[in-house]
Structure 1
Amino acid sequence: MNITWPNFNRNQLILTLSGGIILLLLLFALLRDSGNTVTLEEATKLIEANQIEKTFLDGGYTYFATKDKGVVKIASSQLPPELTAHLLIEPKSSYGWIWFFFFFALIGGAGFWAWKSRFGFDDEIPVETPVTVSKAVSEPEAPSSNVAAVKSNVRFSDIGGIGDVKEELEEIIDFLRNPKRYYSFGARMPRGVLLVGPPGVGKTMIAKAVAAEADVPFFYQSGASFVQIYVGMGAKRVSELFSAAKKNAPAIIFIDEIDAVGKKRGGERNDEREGTLNQLLTEMDGFEETSGIVVIAATNNIDVMDSALLRAGRFDRRIFVELPTAGEREAILQKYLRQIPHDLSIAEIAKMTVGFNGASLAALVNEAALLCMRQNEIQVKQEHFLAVKDKVMFGKKKIAMLSDEQRRYQVRYQAGKVFAATWFDLPYEKITLTNDAITPPTAEPQLRHEIEAHIRVHLAGIASSHLRFGEHASNASHDLGVAKELVHSMVYEYGMGSSVLPSAEDEAKIIDRLYNEMSMLLERNEKILGKFEAILNEYEHISKALAKATMNEIL
């Protein structure tokens, strides 16, 4: 067996060497012969003067313990017998040395035991002990995993706008509370529940709420934490996670972003990810239906997940968590505004936040509250929400410095988009020279005319610029890209081309038709476009309310 000797620093080495030297000096002082040799004449004088207290023999010498000179010695062969006849001569005792060695053996054993405990040596040390030479750059050690359950304090009452999801999960909660009721009836609960939805809709909070409502331990892991650079560590973490859950059953295992480890196995080989995925599949097959363990996982994209995870007996129940509707947004806002003094219509705030998820609504409320405090107001009002809405959606952007010519092009470009968004009554609060907060279509099912209205808005800036200048600027790339994506989805995903079967020709025909229709509509309403240009040029922004009022005055 191999051991690696500990690395001493300089102070430890000095202390060790000093202790050894002191021990050797003590041994030398105690073991050396300390008696001084005397002559026969000197010995005779000591005996005749009654200076001898004790006499003993050792190794051919006679030792005298005297009152004044300490211990002296003389060769026994030099002493006449009549000189020491009246003295009691004893052999030298060796018990003192035995106690001395016992004492030092005890100290040495205690020191070795402490050294061993400090550095963790094994019990057996081989004759030949290899010494490990440290490298300039040490190899990384695989991290240890410590799986521990957490107690969730999130309840369904803390989450707004999840009525449909709550109904689906109440059955899971009842099963975790009363498993015998289901077993006696011969029913089984799904081993895995997959929460599917875009980021920020509250999938993690929902899983925590299930654990809190059922009052069971909650084991949280991110799918990314299973994907390790160390071979076998991902599979080990999966095994440890399920082992810990089994010991604390009934329990909930929640795996966030499971698509990080559960992606489809294809041509690009990744042995570590595949090994981890195989271990996850094995663990889900391994625990009994009566174990009291429910695995909840979350993903933003179910399409990339391996089919083996989605089959019956694993994640056989799927719950889709969509972006909140207007009513659900109102319920979420009410939760976040409970502790914040406000004077506003929550329903109005909910209507103007189309496309916001739960996380965005939380950020919106917080930003509005911070703005209210900066302005030394005592209540949050609707104008605070209007002021920070674009910041939450798009981030704080630096206004671009435009030349006079660039500004003319930008004003015309945005005026065309204002006209299209107002004409087709798309949801937006305001449009500025540098930004337009027009929410992309999110409702399901999406009707063809609704998708085409959004495409026309993204083409309106280009069409408007060509009507005035005969060309458009490079900033149209984003709008053109969005328009192409929407047309591609219409043809290849929704079957909205000239036939149900998709074709590239259909994409070109649709985008050309919508562009031409938008150009003719803008040309017929040049007067309205001019009004929008004037407003944008003066104020650099225009609200939907003002745009509608301006349009109604001219029509």
Structure 2
Amino acid sequence: MTKPPPNPQDPPPGADVIEGLPPLPGLHEALAYIAKGNPPAPVVKLDPGLEGDDDDDLELGALDEADDPVSEFRPDPSEMLMALMILRIYGAAASCDQPLRPEPGLLSTVIISGPEDRRRFAQILPDLPIVRPKGAQAPVVAIEDGSTVDRSIKELTHRVEGLVERGKPVIVGTSRPERLPAELLALESVRVILPPVDRRMLGALLEVLHPTQQILIPMDDADLALVPAIHLAPVFAAETADQAADRLRRIAVKRPAVSAGPTLDDVHGQPEAVAALRQVVRDLQEWRAGRLEWSEVTKSFLLVGPPGTGKTMLAQALAGSSGITFVKTSYSDCQKMGHQGDFLRELNASADRAQAGAPAEWFVDEIDSFHHRGQSTTGYMVGVVNGFLTTLDRLSATEGVILVAATNDVARIDPAVIRAGRFDKHIRVNPPDRGGVRTFLSSALVGMMTEDHLDRLADQMMGRTGAELTALVRDARTRARAEGKPFSADHVQAAADAVQPPLDPDLMWRVCLHEAGHLVAGAVFGLPAATSARVTPTGGEVLRPGKPSHTRESIRAYQCAVLAGRAAEEVLLGDISSGGGTGATSDLAQATRLAMEAEFVLGFGPTLTWVPLETPYFLLPEALRQRIEASLQVAQTEARAAMDRHRTAVERVAGALSERRELDAGLIADLLSDIVQEPVRAEGLTSAGVE
């Protein structure tokens, strides 16, 4: 038998409550909403006595079968989810001592974490008697759209301001009320949190659907609060009480927590990564709404960058902005479980949690620990990587699961792990840009520094990672406590000076000239346009894409460009510094590597013999070393001549770097717009190579 729709004129379930337990707020309105969308039905008597049972497993009362008339009453799960939202709204209203409906020209704020919850809230609220008494004007509901909080809050602010100016009563649904302007918050008459689903709410609605059966809810209120409302749709769709109970048990098994951590708005100075992950948030929203196929979603990302740049925070922020489950694992988390079998069992268990919590994000930290199987001297790593690949494939085929991994060294990872189809998009995560450094410091040091001081400090700390900036602020607070003084800008400056002292102005100008030389030479010799450039107290960098293949001329062009920093210093300052020759990634190292590749990897020399690049330089034949040195000397001569011809352009670009400290692709293009590409003057080269 199925139950007819509830008659809202009857006492709702729980009206005659257990002693000491108040009526369930909003139950009458929830039943009325359900009845409104279903055929009329006979009066049904529900057992109210077990509403709000405090036992570990809530038992719902049963009707005498003789009193259960036959009917085709079967509400759509979406109706039941909306009824659940009604119960939550009335629960929120019952928790405050002011009416939820604001006076005209004022606003009430309801804190709602998830975008789907905000959508249902906005859809049902205006017609509820609690905010629209008979004959009264309906309040206007304005919600944050949930995709990109910065943009959404701006749009929300603009809309609410317009409504308030027209004297409308406004109810705002947002996850971050503190981001609204102070002048709007001053008009707030009440602020309340939308409560999560609890056992009493769920139990009341299940009793409507299955009045003749007992259903156990195998979760306490804290666990149930972590279940997205959408996961209850299959429970409401169950045709029998046994099916509903079984689906509840599945939800309860290892129920992962929906991320409550940082959001993408908390990430500063990573524009490329944030932009890519914001698109995932939007795509998830479209997929949830049924407007986008899962196959169209970019759903796997590899975050690549040095330690401390915020890769883990980015992964957490994606889950936080999406309102999805966050499941983290790593090689070390699995390895500590024991031998290979235990390792793979733990790996699969974490994948199971992601699948059970979908939509979810499965994050693998330090994925470079799953290193190249060819580097293993035992079968252990082969078995681990093979098991990892199987897990990746399983999750890639699961709708609603986003894969994210982080690494400091992408070269160590087995190529099969990071190929397209497993990790489609690779995102470089560098130390934050100047704007990101400044935003971080401004947020951490609210009202403590002047704008000029913040600018100088951002210049000084450029190149430092987010972890280092966090440590700097912590050290400054420690200094204040040690001195027994209030925390001040002086403590911050002292901590900054200890980490990275300000650079002497003359030395900073040299760094600017050096990086300007790279930029100008790239334009002169026709290299791909630089995407960014910046200078910091620890040096500078120019980023430009590489070429998929090379000729002898392109190799020489790259050599000239990487040696042009030294050449610019020599031409404009009369001497060179050590800036181009320190370490394996230095200018000299790059130019030498290019010469070696041309000689014995790419076949541009007089012989066709292939020699590994890892071969120690002193083991190379003398004739080969002489050709490499000759190649470097020709490139240095050409770079020096180019800097002399374009001295004005070098100084112009250096001036912009000195003022701004970082340049994007658009600014670089503008600064170099008057440079005409010149052919590489490869004196000493023949069709066979260097003579």
Scaled by the length of structure 2, the TM-score of the pair is 0.40
> Larger radius of gyration, structure 1 or 2?
1
- Per the normalisation by structure 1, the TM-score is 0.49
